[in-house]
Amino acid sequence: MNDLDPLVAAASADFAAAPTPAELENAKARFLGKAGRVTELLKGLAALSPDEKKTRGAEINQTKQRIEAALSARRAALAEAELDAQLRAEALDVTLPGRQRGLGGLHPVSRTMERIEAIFGSMGFDVADGPEIETDWMSFTALNNPENHPARSMQDTFYVDMKDEGGRWYNLRPHTSPMQVRYARAHAARYAGVDPMPEIRVIAPGRTYRVDSDATHSPMFHQCEGLWIGENVSFKDLKVVFTEFCRKFFESEDLRLRFRPSFFPFTEPSAEIDIAFASGPLKGQWLEVAGSGQVHPNVVRNFGLDPERYIGFAFGMGPDRLAMLRYGVNDLRLFFENDLRFLRQFN
């Protein structure tokens, strides 16, 4: 015990009051720094006699050591508190359930497309994909729409500000029918010289565009084209294939089909295909699901094939419409607004 004890007590109290390592270092400077209180005491030794220096010097050194010990203790305490806080912040509750990864789902139209592809795939049809920006020739001329014929305006086509070599505007394809021509020409070229040519059996699903928008029409919509060409393919085959498709698609063996005479430039004869459900809210009502017909000889010629030898049928249907019927959706626009509350119902 000596007159320096209060200084040790003051230093310990200051250190204890420092809440962070930085503030602790400031407190240390006040006692042990260049102008600190212990340093001031040591400077005072110079004025003392040699004997006094000895005893006073020893007292001051002892005081300094006690203050340094108090400082080390506080440093250790602060470091431990910091580690504790960090461990608490990073604490892991291993009993919590794991975080689920957000699983996406297929859009109802994509589901419908896949369903169509699977059913026709099972009947030996290839699946083809093609450009959405088309030439005038592919969209119209090759499909037996005479140039400047009024039938061309049956479809409110979007034109693209770009011309082909013949000086005609490109268009956003108003139907998937150009894929008949693209696929058949590639097939004919591939099997040139092979006699008889293997049959063409293909569907071409994809996006199509028309200037049209209301509860049952959207400027972008989907179609799926179908084509079957061979030496002996008839309207009877179309009926069998399409009936089989509809019954599988709607999972209803007693679904009825009706082929209603119609007109398309690329088929002769042509028919609209209507279906009627045997049960459910639409029971007995005729609903149009596709256009179809025997491919016109002019179109077969544009395939690069001899229409005297090759014959067959084509059809074009609307997957959006099929999805609406299958899921009971009454507004086509719901499919394209992408409201997650609507879309989640299908997953």
What are the residues binding ligand DAH (CB under 6 A)? 175, 177, 225, 264, 267, 291-293, 314-316
Residue 219 CB, nearest distance to ligand DAH (Å)?
14
Looking at the Cβ atoms of 102 and 261, the one nearer to ligand DAH is 261
Torsion sign across C-alpha atoms 193, 194, 196, 197: negative
Looking at the Cβ atoms of 7 and 116, the one nearer to ligand DAH is 116
Report how far residue 211's alpha carbon sits from residue 83's, in angstroms, rounded to the nearest whole number. Answer: 67
Residue 248 CB, nearest distance to ligand DAH (Å)?
20
Report how far residue 74's alpha carbon sits from residue 289's, in angstroms, rounded to the nearest whole number. Answer: 83
Reduced to 3 states, what is the DSSP secondary structure of residue 340?
helix
Residue 226 CB, nearest distance to ligand DAH (Å)?
7
Can you tell me which residue has the tokens 């799926």?
224
Beta-bridge partners for 295: 267
Report how far residue 233's alpha carbon sits from residue 226's, in angstroms, rounded to the nearest whole number. Answer: 13
State how far the alpha carbon of 81 is from the alpha carbons of 55, 90, 107, 326, in Å: 39, 14, 53, 64
Residue 263 CB, nearest distance to ligand DAH (Å)?
10
What single letter denotes the amino acid at residue 109?
V
Looking at the Cβ atoms of 175 and 187, the one nearer to ligand DAH is 175
Looking at the Cβ atoms of 206 and 316, the one nearer to ligand DAH is 316
Residue 307 CB, nearest distance to ligand DAH (Å)?
15
Torsion sign across C-alpha atoms 289, 295, 301, 305: positive
How many other β-carbons are positioned within 10 Å of the β-carbon of residue 45?
13
DSSP-assigned letter for residue 45: G
Looking at the Cβ atoms of 57 and 219, the one nearer to ligand DAH is 219
Looking at the Cβ atoms of 246 and 314, the one nearer to ligand DAH is 314
Residue 334 CB, nearest distance to ligand DAH (Å)?
22
Residue 229 CB, nearest distance to ligand DAH (Å)?
12
Whose CA is closest to 186, among 297, 292, 305? 305
Report how far residue 101's alpha carbon sits from residue 81's, in angstroms, rounded to the nearest whole number. Answer: 36
Looking at the Cβ atoms of 225 and 320, the one nearer to ligand DAH is 225
